Amino acid sequence: MPEHLQTKSPSYGHLRLLVQALAFAAVLASASHAAARTLRLVALGDSLTAGFGLAPGRAFPNRLEAALRAKGWDVKVINAGVSGDTAADGLARYDWAVPPDADALIVELGANDMLRGQKPDATKATLAAILDKARAAHLPTLLAGMRGAPNLGPEYASQFSAIYPALAKAYNVPLYPFFLDGVAGDPKLNQPDGLHPTAEGVEVIVRKILPSVEALLKQTNR
């Protein structure tokens, strides 16, 4: 066959470079897909998370998601709050409330334990069991604290309030000391029951907790 009609076969070196280039492109595509994946942040809590008495879209998880997205986070905040739940209730539904593909967790439980006068040691043990589950799943967790009401007596209030910093230290998880910081006791930011925040109160909670949540999301495998 005349030389000008012959088709030259690619050398082994050329084939190897081609394979390497394709493999590198696949890695880049995979990394790009991973980077584009929406983070899933679960808020496991009671009525303060669920949005008791608020219009649709005004609950804490909704407003937190909006605030995070405004800061550039591609995140979905899952509302795993149930009104009336104690810490034990939260633990009982943990396995189905916190999906396996969750990237981070906020634990906001204990207020109903306090309102019912449950023993602080029992609440602490239950919250510890929740943190055990999160740790076993390697799930970055933010513990949202609650303070004991003064009308329950100084001894009870002190014991209850101490639950959260003690657990945060024991489990080496970040603590947001008081979920209702800036809202509790302010009639303008609470519903008539004096316990649940208004939509304006939720905005205050979100604004104050936002830096802690952003720090939590930085711990995820983005």
pLDDT tens track for 27-53:
444 444 445 689 999 999 999 999 999
Host domain of residue 87: 38-217
Is residue 28 domain-shared with residue 44, that is, in the same domain? no
What is the percent of the chain with per-residue pLDDT over 70, rounded to a whole number?
83
Specify the 3-state DSSP secondary structure of 182. Answer: coil
Is residue 138 domain-shared with residue 64, that is, in the same domain? yes
Is residue 33 domain-shared with residue 132, that is, in the same domain? no
Active-site choice (9, 32, 33, 193): 193
Residue 160 lies in a domain: yes
Is residue 27 domain-shared with residue 111, that is, in the same domain? no
C-alpha to C-alpha distances, 179 to 30, 33, 70, 111, 136, nearest whole angstrom: 38, 35, 21, 10, 25
Is residue 26 domain-shared with residue 48, that is, in the same domain? no
pLDDT in tens, 44-95: 999 999 999 999 999 999 999 999 999 999 999 999 999 999 999 999 999 9
Is residue 129 domain-shared with residue 196, that is, in the same domain? yes
Question: Are the beta carbons of 179 and 146 closer than 8 angstroms?
Answer: yes
Active-site choice (9, 32, 196, 212): 196
pLDDT, position 34: 45
pLDDT, position 31: 44
pLDDT, position 37: 85
Is residue 116 domain-shared with residue 203, that is, in the same domain? yes
Residue 2 lies in a domain: no
Q: Give the total number of structural domains in the chain.
A: 2
Q: Taking all residues of the chain, what is their mean pLDDT, rounded to a whole number?
A: 89
**If pLDDT is split at 50, 70 and 90, which confidence band does 221 have?**
confident
pLDDT, position 19: 47
The verdict on whether 181 is a catalytic residue reads: no
Is residue 32 domain-shared with residue 141, that is, in the same domain? no
Is residue 178 domain-shared with residue 124, that is, in the same domain? yes
The verdict on whether 4 is a catalytic residue reads: no
How far, in Å, CA of 157 to CA of 162, rounded?
A: 9
**If pLDDT is split at 50, 70 and 90, which confidence band does 23 have?**
low
pLDDT in tens, 173-195: 999 999 999 999 999 999 999 99
Mean pLDDT of 135-159: 96
Active-site choice (46, 47, 103, 113): 47
Is residue 73 domain-shared with residue 149, that is, in the same domain? yes
Residue 222 lies in a domain: no
Name residue, tokens 């952003």.
214
Is residue 20 domain-shared with residue 47, that is, in the same domain? no
The verdict on whether 32 is a catalytic residue reads: no
**If pLDDT is split at 50, 70 and 90, which confidence band does 16 have?**
low
Residue 94 lies in a domain: yes
How far, in Å, CA of 124 to CA of 163, rounded?
A: 6
Is residue 30 domain-shared with residue 45, that is, in the same domain? no
